[in-house]
Amino acid sequence: MTEIQQKKAQGKDIEIWFQDEARIGQNNKQTRRWAKRGTRPEAIQDLRNRSAYIFGAICPKEGKAAGIVMPKCNTYAMEFHLQEISLGIAENAHAVIIMDQAAWHTSGKLKVPDNITIVPLPPKSPELNPVENIWQFMRDNWLSNRVFKSYNDIVDHCCYAWNLLCDQPWKIMSIGMRDWAHRS
């Protein structure tokens, strides 16, 4: 943290959050399916290309999550997401948000709320971000192996899946905890 960031966080509890984005769309990924031994299960494949992005962040220690669904990944969308995360941070806390180094995360134009400090992950290290595991869980359980009728249908399913996850703080804790980030 820079000296200015340390002054903002001084005397406050620190919440560790992880953040990432996922594209969900009509040209969707297929996941494993149960099938009778010796048979090949059918899965519908949609070749259209409408999509939306889930901007998601989790605080595994507290079981909290903050997310929004946006049509594009850019600095503007990231600012909205940071504002959403800011609302989920405890009143007497400062959040350290660990995220990759996507262009919209590192832009000099990005306005970061006062109760947030961004800490970038090393390049090409998605395995360090537990939100990648959250995306896999959501795809496996709610978002894959389906055909979306329209863009609004994609947004509705993304919101539904994210809200289901938020209603399961134990799942956020289970998937998201990393000893290296929460060691005392």
Extract the tokens encoding 131.
């939100």
Supply the range of the domain harboring residue 133. 8-24+48-177
CATH number at residue 132: 3.30.420.10
Residue 95 lies in a domain: yes
pTM of the predicted structure, to 2 decimals: 0.85
- Overall domain count for the chain: 1
Strands (E), 51-171: 51-59, 64-70, 93-99, 116-120
Query: Could you tell me if residue 128 is inside a domain?
Result: yes
Residue 147 — pLDDT band, cuts 50, 70, 90?
A: confident
Residue 146, pLDDT score: 82
Report if residue 52 sits inside a domain: yes
- Domain assignment present for residue 145? The answer is yes
Which pLDDT tens digit goes with each residue over 120-134? 999 999 999 999 999
CB-based burial label for 153 (10 Å; 0-12, 13-18, 19+)? middle
The string of pLDDT tens digits covering residues 54-99 is 999 999 999 999 999 999 999 999 999 999 999 999 999 999 999 9
* 43 within some domain: no
* 32: in domain: no
